[in-house]
Amino acid sequence: MHNAKILIIEDDIAIADLLSYSLTKEGFQTRSASSGATGMIELQQFQPDLLLLDWMLPDQSGLDICKKVTASCNIPILMITAKSDITDKILGLEIGADDYITKPFDLREVVARIRTILRRMEQVNQGVPNGVDQEVIRFRNIEINVNERSVKQNNQTVELTPKEYDLLMTLVRNPGRTFTRSELLDVVWGYHYAGDTRTVDTHIQRLRKKLEGTECIATVFGIGYKFKKTGD
């Protein structure tokens, strides 16, 4: 995704400047903020395609920022953390982060992960089921606008996080196919997850709650999940 806009929220000025310089050289547009408060202002003004978010900020936790962003915006989040504990990483993913990278990091890895996230978003948006309009997908009382990455139920907007949307689209694009939890982690999160699979279960539960009454996401006991075709 050439010229994608990246917002960096990082209180270490040296790290923020290094990230901004390196990402600009790679063809990205960047802006930086050194606190959560200024970061939220930049988020509204800059309208980034991806958020690069430090876990520890001077005024509030990066996790709190992550919650606010996923509740109001549909953009992917790559968290930067000095925490190596797997529980903390799982928490970040469950709250809505798309990926994480641990300090100290290699700039080439940061760039690679950003490109992977943006490419995965493009891939999710490109495919739709056979025989369905290329811009709008409709099933039961749900309408998905692929270009806008928006979802409506009974003409009411359903606020989904980027991961919830990508998970829904992965299932919708493959009606009747059963995905294992590991497959969904690989497709939606973009890597083979080393921990348990509760991240997928948590996101499925949230999707079902937000799309209440549709019963379109079925559990295949002992295996994983599938999107129920009309009439199933």
Please give the single-letter amino acid code of residue 44. Q
Please give the single-letter amino acid code of residue 196. D
C-alpha span between 220 and 179 (Å, rounded): 9
C-alpha span between 187 and 232 (Å, rounded): 24
Tokens of 85: 């504990």
CA distances from 182 to 16, 29, 172 (A): 34, 34, 18
Tokens of 190: 């973009």
Please give the single-letter amino acid code of residue 43. L
C-alpha span between 33 and 26 (Å, rounded): 20
Tens-digit pLDDT string for the chain (232 aa)? 568 999 999 999 999 999 999 999 999 999 999 999 999 999 999 999 999 999 889 998 888 898 888 877 778 899 888 766 666 666 777 777 888 888 888 999 899 889 888 887 776 655 544 444 457 888 888 899 887 888 999 888 888 888 888 899 999 988 889 999 888 887 887 654 455 677 888 889 889 988 886 788 999 988 999 998 665 5
Assess contact for 12 and 81: CB atoms under 8 A. Answer: no
Confidence at residue 131, expressed as pLDDT on a 0 to 100 scale: 42
Of 228, 133, 232, the residue nearest 172 (C-alpha)? 228
User: Which residue ranges form the domains of the chain, and what is each CATH number?
Assistant: 5-125 (3.40.50.2300), 127-227 (1.10.10.10)
Assess contact for 78 and 52: CB atoms under 8 A. Answer: yes
Assess contact for 212 and 221: CB atoms under 8 A. Answer: no
Q: State the Cα torsion 83-88-93-96 to the nearest 10°.
A: -90
Tokens of 113: 């992960």
Please tell me the pTM assigned to this model: 0.65
Assess contact for 121 and 165: CB atoms under 8 A. Answer: no
Point out which residues pair with 179 in neighbouring strands: 225
Assess contact for 56 and 74: CB atoms under 8 A. Answer: no
Tokens of 172: 């919708």
